Chain A
Amino acid sequence: MAHSGGIDHWPVEEIPDPDRLFYRVHVNSLAQGQLVPGALREQRNPEAPQERGSMSTEWEKYASPEEALSRSSDSKKNGIVSLVVGEVRKIPGLVARHDPNTPRPPLRSHAGIEGISAPVGAAGESPYAGLAAKKRKTMIREKLLKVCEWVIEPPGDPSSERAGVGDSSPP
């Protein structure tokens, strides 16, 4: 397991429902400074784009929000939201699991939320193909947003103060 360069394989554990996952959000994903469903995305392996993607997060058992933020490309352009695992698992077709060995090098805190583009377990002649999959994905992102909470907000966006946008007053 361990070698001179460090750990290259971590045991996979079951994540309890009450635990939180931390997800990085880049400021470019915000709209008027607000968290929106567009910020919730799967990452795919560029070397195997046909593989199922997952939303890359970090498990609070092994990482603090600050540590998760420190692994961003630029901590001044990112924030951290948390998602309670049990709430994620209530969304049909979504799975949250410990996935420490996919990153290179392995990262003990790494966890993935799978099933956004297609429900976990669907294979072959899935009813969620083509347009049905797109409609489902839109629904999933809307539901997933509701279980996200800011833990570390990214730098402010002055334009977020403009009235008449989003959940502010009507124009």
Chain B
Amino acid sequence: MASGQVNKEQFKNVPGVLGTSPAPSPVPIPNARVGLSPLAIDAFVSGSMNAPHVFTIAGALPNSSEPYANLYSAINESRAILEQDDSDPDAPMRPSLATWQRATDFLAKVARFSLARLGYTMRIPLISVADEGSVDLFWKTQGGTLLMNFPSDPCEQATYYGENAAGETISGSVVGVEGGPLLATWLIQAG
């Protein structure tokens, strides 16, 4: 299918996505040391949250028994990109804290949605600097890829592009957390 389109047909039987079948009740979400309040999670899961909100990654890692431990560990490790020396002419421009937070906030929310609503523990993407101070999230699996870019300008929308093994593509942009459920579902299908 052409780039710039989303093949919604493939998501029609996934509960809670595209509104084509009833969504299950949210499963209990473990208390996290970083991230969203239960109210915020409910808002995201129910789709009523349509704007980004601020939350801060705490310094301490969450308890390893939490299902999100690896995710939070990856997010915390990715903070290193904020400390990189970008005075080297060959080095990429360092992203701002706000840009990194925007990307990792989105990631945490999609991971929570994926587990709470779809029952799927999302793979962890590679979190990296990209051009002009933007931040990338990049998933690469045997079944496909998904690239998301969060621009340094907070007024600009994040964009994404993915391809699966069948050659199908997904492309678009997201405002706040909109689009998160669709991308979570894409990642499930990509394996």
Flag the segment in A34-42, A59-67, A118-126 that touches B.
Answer: A34-42
A24 and B138 contact, Cβ closer than 8 Å, known pairs A138-B161, A164-B124: no
Distance A24 CA – B89 CA, assembled complex (angstroms): 12
Closest A residue to B3 by beta carbon equals A139
Distance A131 CA – B122 CA, assembled complex (angstroms): 27
How big is the B interface, by class?
35 or more
How big is the A interface, by class?
35 or more
The answer to whether A73 and B147 touch across the interface, beta carbons within 8 angstroms, is no
Main secondary structure of the interface of A (DSSP, over half): mixed
Measured between beta carbons, the chain B residues less than 8 angstroms from A77 are 88, 90-91
Q: Does A167 contact B (CB under 8 A)?
A: yes
Contact with B along A16-42 (1 / 0, CB 8 A): 000000001010111110101111011
The answer to whether A165 and B126 touch across the interface, beta carbons within 8 angstroms, is yes
Closest B residue to A41 by beta carbon equals B131
Distance A134 CA – B159 CA, assembled complex (angstroms): 7
The answer to whether B138 and A171 touch across the interface, beta carbons within 8 angstroms, is no
Q: A32's contact among B88, B126, B142, B149, by CB below 8 Å, is which?
A: B126
Flag the segment in B27-35, B48-56, B70-78 that touches A.
Answer: B70-78
The answer to whether A38 and B136 touch across the interface, beta carbons within 8 angstroms, is yes
Q: B121's contact among A135, A139, A170, by CB below 8 Å, is which?
A: A170
Q: Does A141 contact B (CB under 8 A)?
A: yes
The answer to whether B130 and A134 touch across the interface, beta carbons within 8 angstroms, is no
Chain B nearest Cβ from A23, distance in angstroms: 11
Q: Does A70 contact B (CB under 8 A)?
A: no
* Chain A, 122-148, CB within 8 A of any chain B CB: 131, 134-135, 137-139, 141-142
* Chain B, 98-135, CB within 8 A of any chain A CB: 121-131, 134-135
The answer to whether A135 and B147 touch across the interface, beta carbons within 8 angstroms, is no
Q: Does A50 contact B (CB under 8 A)?
A: no
Binding site for B on A (CB under 8 A): 24, 26, 28-32, 34, 36-39, 41-42, 72-74, 77-78, 131, 134-135, 137-139, 141-142, 159, 162, 164-167, 170-171
Binding site for A on B (CB under 8 A): 3-4, 69-71, 73-74, 77-78, 81, 84-86, 88-92, 121-131, 134-136, 138-142, 145, 147-149, 151, 156-157, 159-163, 169, 171-173
Q: Shortest 7 CB-CB distances between A and B: which pairs?
A: A38-B130, A171-B70, A31-B128, A31-B126, A139-B161, A38-B128, A41-B131
- A-B contacts, 21 of them at CB < 8 A, read A28-B92, A29-B91, A31-B127, A31-B128, A31-B138, A36-B126, A36-B128, A36-B138, A38-B128, A38-B129, A39-B128, A41-B131, A78-B90, A134-B151, A138-B160, A162-B73, A162-B77, A165-B74, A165-B125, A166-B139, A171-B71
